[in-house]
Structure 1
Amino acid sequence: MFWHETLYDVLNIINNVILTVIGVPFFLQLIYMCTFWVKKKVFPKSKKKNRICVLIPAHNESDVIYDTVKSIYERQNYPKELFDVYVVADNCTDNTAELARKAGAIVFIHNDPDPKTHIARYAIAFGYEEIKKQTKKYDFSIRLDADNHINDDFFNLMNDCYNSGVEMARPYESALNMTQNKYTKACGLYYIFDSRFSSRTRERLGIDAHVNGPGSMISMNIINKYGYDSKGICDDAEFCYRRMLDGYRMHFVEDAIVFEDLPSTFKDTLAKNKRMGAGNLRLIFTRGMKMLFKFFTTFRFSYLEMFLTYIFNLICVILCTWIPLFYIYDVIYLALTGNGIILTTLGAEHYYTLLITTLIVIAFCLGILFCFAGILQGLILVLLDYKKMGANKRRELIDGVFLFPFFSVVYCITITLGVFSKPKWTKVNRNKIIKKNSD
């Protein structure tokens, strides 16, 4: 056997191992999609009303902060005397603080000349420490981003959850600007997948939710005990990791909806995912490995599920590097050997047959991924939850369904670029589109 044939065989074995490893978390996501029919969990309504603090870190957010704070005070169906909104104006050079106060928020000014501290976790940690100093005491907190809006019963629903014994929970994440353009429709469907499919199934099966985004509810008992002790870039995900490793259970409150401003261009997606890509990959190799080890000592499936979900960031890198490089090499090698240009032991006919088979398999797999795992799941999301996405009719989102698979490719590319870049807290382009809150 020629050396290049041996090399080809070795690389194929490596590729098959990689495909098997990738297939496990993909299979888990397939299960979530196929169990879309399970009923959502609803926490029992509670007559007891707890005190709530809302924490919003804001860096030069004068475009959106006033509307965000104002909408909370005006629209929440919750006793006004039982909640307060706190805004941390972090290293701002605009009038974010002034506008937040005007809207009714209590503002903390946080300035630190060290550029290494110009990321959200420093502002959040500072905000929680200042809240702990207040004469008012709170039962739980809600953390929002500066552009977020929440549905009218958000506080009531989180209050019901808290009074059921839950100390950390996440909401359903939707979009302010879902119908802005074709890009936001595809983008929104991608992010909403985790809320409608994955999170609902986790909650019904007793698997811990991923409390890692805006709208997260955290008991003040946890804040008082640990503070905001995240050290990495993806602070919200790390905080969830830490508390899970401490033994806390995480839950999902599906009818509590937070509306986010989605990236409306590739440039905006890249800016967002650069932080996520770098931060989540580091998290996998630190806290993620602890999750994996803890699964083998406790056999609590939530630890393994969390690890398998976050490993998608590593999979994105593999999909953008190893997979295309290997199959380009594979096709070129088989074309050369199959046509007798390179001499082989097994003969040209053998490799020509392999070439045809490989091309058919590649086309089949891409077709399945784009049509079944892409378009079909996007279509199911639109059919089920179009109202939560801000659309009046399902057909408003249909073009996003067909673009959904292409955004998945964009997501992989931007996450991969993020892994190889140095993230920082940058000014985000906001889309001035206000979604009317609905229940």
Structure 2
Amino acid sequence: MDTILTINIVIAVVFTCCYAYQLFFLAVPFTKKQEPHKPEVLHRFAILICARNEEAVIADLIQSIRHQTYDQSLLTVFVMADNCTDATADIARREGAVVYTRFNREKVGKGYALEQLLLHIEEDYPKVYDGFFVFDADNVLDCRFVEEMNRTFSDGYEVVTSYRNSKNYGDNWISAGYALWFIRESRYLNNSRMLLGTSCAVSGTGFLFSRQVMESTNGWKFHLLTEDIEFSVHHILQGRKIGFCADAVLYDEQPVTFRQSWRQRLRWARGFLQVFRKYGFGLVKGIGKGHFSCYDMSMTVMPAYILTVGLIIAYLVGGVMSTAEGISFLPCLMYILQTFLGLYVVLFLVGVFTTITEWKRIHTTPLRKVLYTVTFPLFMLTYIPISMVALFSRKVQWKPIEHHRADRRVLETAAGRK
């Protein structure tokens, strides 16, 4: 058992060393103010939406774009109907979008659809747009979203990401788990990074990049399972600083079934490993040169649950060896339970802190806000078996998530009517 205790101490020290800075990040928004914006310049934007069988939600997104306070003459909505078998394309055209269609069963995924969409735009509208927004079809935008993003874009950031909120926080413990994590990521990771002057990271959807960024990669060339993180890491390694706009609020829909959640997060976990395999050397090299953003991104693509998986494997191996030597397995089991309890407490405190400080931005009943702080750690701990599968699975592929929500309360809030 001395060996197990030593392993426990070593892993605890590694955890602390790796992620202590994120505890510091929790205090940053309360101690540091955002620098004033530079004079605003109005830019012409292309809005990119890649949609696969999203007839239930795409109209709400386009309508929320049409309700923006930004000059509508400077916005063009482009939709790539990607392998659709429903009315997505027809609905998008009816709402005034420029629609392209794509049918390719081999190159599947958002990255390939974005690549094809940008090729069409550059062929049909060459050199027209200063920047490109990327949204998922289930998103809904606050009415000031583009206006606020343009202010940060005018400050000189070539890539800008936004505050990611949720349309369906209160559906169940799964949707709330996602939503609370994304709110925490927006408020206490990207916001703190922005205030400290280091690079932020794109999270899935609701981001903007300049024409210069698009031309630097000759379109969209990011096709790993987590193309958003790949995009972020690539540009950070190129020396670009990704900005964050705390006042640009986006609402997206979270999965509500564990099966969908497992499939999606398995793809993310596998995608993190892909990104680390492709960019790990560059990140380590950047860390050696003293670039904090490279360290920060390394902790993002090689997250804490990988260390947890390693710890549990070490416990089990040690327990088996102890049993073989005639020593009770019970102490090893107690160490595992203590580890899970410690993780639960840390995640619970993070969830409580985020819920209290972002209370007004969480759209559900007070009772559910409280209840889902209790279930939040359980949701996060399910990453452990997902990570174990991702480490050994070679057949993880991108698959669409079904969306059905059109919450009137969120639509009214986004439109500024509440």
Distance in 2 (CA, whole Å) between partners of 1:134 and 1:203 is 36
Counterpart code for 1:126: Q
The equivalent of 1:177 in structure 2 is 168
The equivalent of 1:60 in structure 2 is 53
Q: Which of the residues 119, 140, 165 maps onto 1:149? A: 140
CA contact (8 A) 2:134 2:206 kept: yes
The equivalent of 2:37 in structure 1 is 44
The equivalent of 1:3 in structure 2 is none
Call closer, same or farther: CA 1:40–1:154 in 2, change over 3 Å: farther
Counterpart code for 1:169: V
SS in 1 for 2:136: coil
What is the CA-CA distance between 1:363 and the residue it aligns to?
A: 5.5
Call closer, same or farther: CA 1:326–1:224 in 2, change over 3 Å: closer
Structure 1: where are the runs of 5+ without partners? 1-7, 343-351
What is the CA-CA distance between 1:104 and the residue it aligns to?
A: 1.3
CA contact (8 A) 1:25 1:309 kept: no
The equivalent of 2:386 in structure 1 is 414
Distance in 2 (CA, whole Å) between partners of 1:86 and 1:106 is 5
SS in 1 for 2:222: coil
Distance in 2 (CA, whole Å) between partners of 1:363 and 1:418 is 23
CA contact (8 A) 1:38 1:201 kept: no
Distance in 1 (CA, whole Å) between partners of 2:306 and 2:291 is 28
CA contact (8 A) 1:335 1:355 kept: no
Alignment of 1:316-395 (within 5 A): 316-320=305-309, 322-330=310-318, 341=326, 365-371=339-345, 373-391=346-364, 394-395=366-367
Distance in 2 (CA, whole Å) between partners of 1:164 and 1:334 is 60
Structure 2: where are the runs of 5+ without partners? none
Call closer, same or farther: CA 1:276–1:394 in 2, change over 3 Å: same
What is the CA-CA distance between 1:330 and the residue it aligns to?
A: 4.4
Call closer, same or farther: CA 1:413–1:28 in 2, change over 3 Å: farther
Distance in 2 (CA, whole Å) between partners of 1:359 and 1:10 is 14
Call closer, same or farther: CA 1:360–1:416 in 2, change over 3 Å: closer
Sequence identity of aligned pairs in percent?
25
Call closer, same or farther: CA 1:389–1:15 in 2, change over 3 Å: same
SS in 1 for 2:235: helix
Q: Does 1:126 align with 2:151?
A: no
The equivalent of 2:238 in structure 1 is 246
Call closer, same or farther: CA 1:395–1:38 in 2, change over 3 Å: farther
CA contact (8 A) 2:118 2:220 kept: yes
SS in 2 for 1:144: strand
Distance in 2 (CA, whole Å) between partners of 1:295 and 1:256 is 31
Call closer, same or farther: CA 1:129–1:250 in 2, change over 3 Å: same
CA contact (8 A) 2:176 2:372 kept: yes
Distance in 2 (CA, whole Å) between partners of 1:365 and 1:258 is 35
Distance in 1 (CA, whole Å) between partners of 2:150 and 2:321 is 62
Q: Does 1:309 align with 2:300?
A: yes
The equivalent of 2:249 in structure 1 is 257
CA contact (8 A) 1:383 1:394 kept: no
The equivalent of 1:349 in structure 2 is none
CA contact (8 A) 2:40 2:150 kept: no
The equivalent of 1:138 in structure 2 is 129
SS in 2 for 1:239: helix
Alignment of 1:135-284 (within 5 A): 135=125, 137-226=128-217, 227-284=219-276
Distance in 2 (CA, whole Å) between partners of 1:42 and 1:386 is 25
CA contact (8 A) 1:275 1:424 kept: yes
Call closer, same or farther: CA 1:38–1:214 in 2, change over 3 Å: farther
CA contact (8 A) 1:278 1:418 kept: yes
CA contact (8 A) 1:55 1:85 kept: yes
Call closer, same or farther: CA 1:411–1:190 in 2, change over 3 Å: farther
Deviations 1:61-113 (A, max 9, x none): 2221122212211x21111111011011112222211111111111111222x
CA contact (8 A) 1:277 1:417 kept: no
- The structure whose Rg is larger is 1
CA contact (8 A) 1:51 1:140 kept: yes
What is the CA-CA distance between 1:288 and the residue it aligns to?
A: 2.7
The equivalent of 2:106 in structure 1 is 116
The equivalent of 1:96 in structure 2 is 88
Distance in 2 (CA, whole Å) between partners of 1:186 and 1:231 is 27
Distance in 2 (CA, whole Å) between partners of 1:70 and 1:369 is 42
Distance in 2 (CA, whole Å) between partners of 1:378 and 1:80 is 38
What is the CA-CA distance between 1:279 and the residue it aligns to?
A: 1.3
Deviations 1:352-389 (A, max 9, x none): 9x976x77766555444322x12221111111112222
Call closer, same or farther: CA 1:401–1:245 in 2, change over 3 Å: same
CA contact (8 A) 2:200 2:244 kept: yes
Call closer, same or farther: CA 1:254–1:333 in 2, change over 3 Å: same
CA contact (8 A) 2:60 2:406 kept: no
